[in-house]
């Protein structure tokens, strides 16, 4: 059933490759999840560990995904079928596509909340009045049966429209438009935030490591965060790399994406912590940080500087929305590329199928905050179950299989050919890179994975 004749798109430029891949990486993971983890993990201490994992574990997986994708020029499942026909490696591809459906479904729920908060802040309604209880307002909103699903549907439709237009006219074009805008907003917000009174304490929190907060759990959390943030382990970057040209430099592109992603994560910390400290709120406020704590901060800053407060709130949620969209299109693409190629469907039809399936699954996730709160499997609601399955199970296991595939199974000469573009560019770091792919990454990932499995079995 697999069709070789379906025309495949390709990225039109090196800048497009980097911005689309960085767009996938930079997302809610950087702006929403990273500051939360930093808050829980002792500020600078967490950041240092996280940086080590980005470059030692997650980047080797990213480069391996690039090698697989460009060698096979196929979707995540087709790539393993092509490179190792009849072998069980295909499991890595199947887990990736399944993970793509799950991650898009729960991610879009949070992206839908972001859309709601963007509109609220644009209308000036986030300002509330003195005494507004943002925690209660947030809980009332997410547990409503219909409203969050409406926003989820609008967000999914936006994602659909980009993916349905194809690689160059959809993903590349919109990434080139949204990523510079996103980076500009970040710089502006950091500048705002650093001038807040009392910002110094937030900066100190980010730069001074508190080693007493570093527990094994924090270390493992940093690994999971590094994977999620770089979008590795699900074959998302296998799919994107299948559209790279012969000239694309894989190692350099991966380095650029890692640097951009890390910069955005750290800068988000510089936006959030100085503001949070400036109004004296605890930095480890958890996942509600950007939907409960920040509106509080905006409210307090509104009272003194209403215009700046308004602009800050609006820009912040627009930033979050743009980041979510450039990531969700990459999740959608994992699934769309597979359905289109495997079942010989046009891109538009394949994209529509993915959108409908994820809309239904996303609806279930959304309801798990309200009327379906009681529906649990292994003590987890549907949203948490999807989140757990992807981030704690499919991503690490996928990353492990991907590095084992490239490091141990795939022909070493072919790997080197991919990394050097057939010998036309020197890769001086080849030896250490291959060492990371063969030994460091799989071993490190195995440690996280066993740790996650262990509590499951006792
Ligand atoms: N990297 C994205 C983020 O930081 C999330 C993502 C996960 C994207 C998996 C694609 C695939 O938000």
- We report the CATH number of the domain holding residue 379 as 1.10.4160.10
Is residue 426 in some structural domain?
Answer: yes
Q: How far is the CA of 23 from the centre of ligand 1 (A)?
A: 9
Is residue 3 in some structural domain?
Answer: no
Is residue 27 in some structural domain?
Answer: yes
Alpha helices (H) along 208-292: 216-230, 236-241, 250-278
Report the alpha-carbon distance of residue 140 to residue 133 in Å, rounded: 11
Is residue 130 in some structural domain?
Answer: yes
Residue from 229, 235, 321, 358 whose mutation best tests the ligand 1 pocket (most atoms within 8 A of CB): 229
Q: What is the pLDDT of residue 312?
A: 85
Report whether residue 236 contacts ligand 1, using a CB cutoff of 6 Å: yes
Residue from 97, 231, 333 whose mutation best tests the ligand 1 pocket (most atoms within 8 A of CB): 231
Report whether residue 327 contacts ligand 1, using a CB cutoff of 6 Å: yes
Is residue 418 in some structural domain?
Answer: yes
Provide the domain count of the chain: 1
Q: What is the pLDDT of residue 176?
A: 96
* Strand, coil or helix: 380: strand
Report whether residue 29 contacts ligand 1, using a CB cutoff of 6 Å: yes
Q: What is the pLDDT of residue 129?
A: 60
Report whether residue 27 contacts ligand 1, using a CB cutoff of 6 Å: yes
Residue nearest ligand 1's atom 6 by CA: 231
Element (H, E) at 294: helix 293-304
Q: How far is the CA of 232 from the centre of ligand 1 (A)?
A: 8
Residues of the chain with pLDDT under 70: 1-7, 127-131, 283-287, 301-304, 448, 452-453, 455-458
Closest ligand 1 atom to 323 CA: 12
Report whether residue 264 contacts ligand 1, using a CB cutoff of 6 Å: no
Report the alpha-carbon distance of residue 210 to residue 157 in Å, rounded: 43
Report the alpha-carbon distance of residue 194 to residue 22 in Å, rounded: 25
Q: How far is the CA of 4 from the centre of ligand 1 (A)?
A: 29
Residue from 20, 21, 23, 27 whose mutation best tests the ligand 1 pocket (most atoms within 8 A of CB): 27
Closest ligand 1 atom to 32 CA: 12
Report whether residue 228 contacts ligand 1, using a CB cutoff of 6 Å: yes
- CB-facing half-sphere around the CA of 398: CA atoms within 13 A: 33
The pTM is what? 0.94
Report whether residue 242 contacts ligand 1, using a CB cutoff of 6 Å: no
Q: What is the pLDDT of residue 4?
A: 41
Burial of 118 (0-12, 13-18, 19+ CB in 10 A): buried
- Written as six digits, the tokens of 182 are 């996103």
Q: What is the pLDDT of residue 193?
A: 85
Report the alpha-carbon distance of residue 114 to residue 155 in Å, rounded: 9
CB atoms within 10 A of CB 249: 19
Residue 324 main-chain phi, psi, to 5 deg: -65, -40
Which residue in 70, 441, 385, 395 sits closest to 229, CA to CA? 395
Is residue 458 in some structural domain?
Answer: no
Q: What is the pLDDT of residue 7?
A: 65
Is residue 8 in some structural domain?
Answer: no
Q: How far is the CA of 24 from the centre of ligand 1 (A)?
A: 6
- Written as six digits, the tokens of 54 are 């980005």
Closest ligand 1 atom to 26 CA: 4
Element (H, E) at 317: helix 306-342
Q: What is the pLDDT of residue 458?
A: 38
Is residue 415 in some structural domain?
Answer: yes
For residue 319, give its domain range. Answer: 14-453
């Amino acid at each position: 059933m697999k069709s070789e004749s379906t025309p495949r798109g390709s990225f039109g430029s090196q800048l497009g490759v980097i911005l689309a891949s960085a767009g996938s990486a930079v997302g809610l993971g950087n702006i929403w999840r990273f500051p939360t983890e930093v808050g829980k993990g002792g500020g600078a201490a967490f950041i240092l560990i996280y940086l080590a994992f980005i470059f030692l574990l997650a980047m080797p997986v990213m480069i391996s995904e690039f090698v697989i994708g460009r060698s096979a020029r196929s979707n995540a499942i087709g790539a393993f079928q092509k490179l190792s026909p009849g072998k069980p490696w295909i499991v890595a591809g199947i887990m990736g596509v399944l993970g793509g459906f799950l991650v898009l479904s729960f991610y879009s729920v949070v992206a839908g909340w972001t859309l709601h908060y963007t509109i609220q802040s644009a209308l000036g309604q986030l300002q509330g009045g003195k005494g507004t209880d943002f925690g209660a307002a947030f809980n009332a909103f997410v547990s409503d049966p219909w409203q969050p699903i409406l926003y989820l549907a609008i967000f999914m439709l936006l994602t659909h429209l980009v993916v349905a237009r194809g690689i160059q006219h959809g993903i590349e074009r919109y990434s080139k438009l949204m990523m510079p805008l996103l980076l500009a907003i970040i710089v502006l917000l950091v500048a705002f935030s650093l001038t807040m009174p009392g910002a110094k304490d937030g900066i100190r929190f980010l730069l001074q490591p508190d080693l007493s907060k570093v527990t094994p759990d924090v270390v493992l959390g940093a690994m999971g965060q590094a994977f999620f943030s770089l979008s590795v382990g699900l074959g998302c970057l296998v799919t994107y790399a299948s559209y790279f040209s012969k000239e694309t430099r894989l190692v350099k592109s991966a380095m650029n994406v890692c640097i951009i992603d890390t910069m955005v994560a750290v800068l988000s910390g510089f936006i959030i912590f100085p503001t949070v400290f400036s109004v004296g709120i605890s930095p480890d406020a958890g996942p509600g940080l950007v939907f409960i704590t920040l509106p509080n901060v905006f409210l307090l800053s509104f009272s003194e500087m209403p215009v700046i407060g308004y602009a800050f709130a609006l820009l912040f949620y627009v930033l979050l929305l743009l980041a979510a969209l450039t990531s969700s299109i990459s999740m959608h693409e994992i699934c769309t590329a597979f359905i289109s190629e495997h079942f010989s469907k046009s891109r538009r039809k394949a994209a529509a199928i993915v959108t409908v399936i994820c809309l239904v699954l996303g609806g279930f996730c959304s309801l798990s905050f309200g009327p379906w709160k009681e529906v649990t499997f292994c003590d987890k609601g549907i949203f948490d179950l999807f989140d757990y399955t992807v981030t704690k199970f499919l991503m690490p296991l996928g990353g492990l299989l991907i590095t084992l595939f490239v490091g141990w199974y795939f022909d070493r000469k072919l790997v080197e050919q991919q990394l050097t573009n057939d010998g036309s560019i020197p890769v001086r770091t080849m030896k250490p890179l291959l060492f990371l792919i063969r030994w460091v990454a799989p071993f490190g990932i195995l440690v996280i994975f066993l740790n996650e499995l262990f509590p499951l079995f006792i």
